[in-house]
């Protein structure tokens, strides 16, 4: 596992914010509270948590085209931000949150593999800080964040199971997965795919073992950062 650091209070405007650094992958996460919800849950008394993801054009080795100027978010971006939102919601009691929306923005400042996992882990911290504010003011009474959410990638690189792939490892790995879990060790989402390859259930289990170790380390870092 690469070095993990989580620095909170990065921007003065957001209700919650942090810069998460996992090795050379740096992601700025902010959480915004809005007193409105999407149409499909209006009047239900439940809240919503959603996420958006972006990469700064020069967060990568060579410059990527800015999506705003390309005129649309690419398929990879859309897929990742749907994943982040789904993952965070799994740790939230939406009744306790009440009819409001929290949007978590994850913007990659520097990329070196594992940006979607760093976004989920850092996004949870931003969400935690924003919810703390709602509880301080009494807008929310019961803590809606029932179990912390964190994510790590693992893969089979050079024949060996490897935890927390950096970019060079990730681009070589024939099989890699993203494992999203809770602080209490439950699974939220497993995405394990092979590009031009296949894998056995035994190999899958080895990666799950690694991921469990990685996630518990990340959850500890989240707790340290939020004083929980």
Nearer to a copy of itself, 73 or 220 (CB): 73
Tokens of 137: 């003011």
DSSP state of 99: S
CA–CA–CA angle 225, 125, 131 (5° rounding):
110
Q: Which of 42, 66, 168, 213 binds a copy of itself (CB under 8 A)?
A: 66
Nearer to a copy of itself, 191 or 216 (CB): 191
In this structure, what is the dihedral angle of CA atoms 163, 185, 88, 131, given to the nearest 10 degrees? -120
For residue 8, how many C-alpha atoms fall within 13 Å in the half-sphere facing its CB? 19
Closest separation in Å from C-beta 211 to a copy of itself: 11
- By the rule CB under 8 A, 172 interacts with a copy of itself: no
Q: Which of 3, 13, 136, 160 binds a copy of itself (CB under 8 A)?
A: 13
Cα 56 to Cα 77: distance, rounded to the nearest angstrom: 12
Q: Which of 2, 41, 56, 96 binds a copy of itself (CB under 8 A)?
A: 56
Nearer to a copy of itself, 197 or 228 (CB): 197
Q: How many residues bind a copy of itself (CB under 8 A)?
A: 69
- By the rule CB under 8 A, 199 interacts with a copy of itself: yes
Closest separation in Å from C-beta 145 to a copy of itself: 13
Cα 228 to Cα 197: distance, rounded to the nearest angstrom: 42
- By the rule CB under 8 A, 136 interacts with a copy of itself: no
Pick the piece of the chain touching a copy of itself (CB under 8 A) from 35-43, 60-68, 134-142, 217-225.
60-68
In this structure, what is the dihedral angle of CA atoms 83, 66, 153, 183, given to the nearest 10 degrees? -50
122 is an annotated ligand-binding site residue: no
The single residue listed with the structure tokens 């978590």 is 104
Q: Three-state DSSP class for 173?
A: coil
34, 16 in Cβ contact below 8 A? Answer: no
195, 101 in Cβ contact below 8 A? Answer: no
Tokens of 91: 């740790």
- By the rule CB under 8 A, 110 interacts with a copy of itself: yes
- By the rule CB under 8 A, 96 interacts with a copy of itself: no
Give contact residues for a copy of itself (rule: CB under 8 A): 10-14, 17, 24, 26, 28, 30, 32, 34, 52, 54, 56-63, 66-73, 75-79, 81-82, 86, 89-90, 92, 94, 103, 105, 107, 109-111, 147, 177, 182, 186-201, 204, 208
């Amino acid at each position: 596992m690469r070095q993990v650091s989580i620095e909170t209070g990065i921007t003065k405007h957001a209700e919650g914010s942090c810069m998460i650094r996992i090795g050379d992958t740096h992601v700025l996460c902010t959480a915004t509270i809005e007193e409105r919800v999407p149409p499909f849950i209006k009047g239900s008394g439940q809240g919503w948590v959603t996420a958006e993801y972006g990469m700064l054009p020069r967060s990568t080795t060579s410059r990527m085209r800015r999506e705003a100027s390309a005129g649309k978010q690419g398929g990879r971006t859309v897929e990742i931000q749907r994943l982040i939102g789904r993952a965070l919601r799994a740790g939230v009691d939406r009744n306790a949150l009440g009819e409001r929306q929290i949007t978590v923005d994850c913007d990659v400042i520097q990329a070196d593999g594992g940006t979607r996992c760093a976004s989920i882990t850092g996004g949870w911290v931003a969400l935690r800080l924003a919810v703390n504010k709602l509880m301080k003011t009494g807008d929310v009474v019961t803590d809606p964040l029932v179990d912390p959410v964190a994510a790590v990638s693992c893969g089979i690189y050079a024949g060996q199971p490897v935890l927390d792939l950096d970019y060079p490892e990730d681009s070589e790995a024939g099989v890699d997965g993203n494992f999203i879990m809770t602080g209490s060790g439950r699974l939220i989402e497993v995405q394990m795919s092979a590009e031009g390859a296949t894998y056995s259930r035994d190999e899958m289990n080895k990666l799950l073992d690694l991921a469990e170790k990685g996630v518990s380390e990340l959850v500890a870092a989240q707790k340290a950062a939020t004083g929980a």
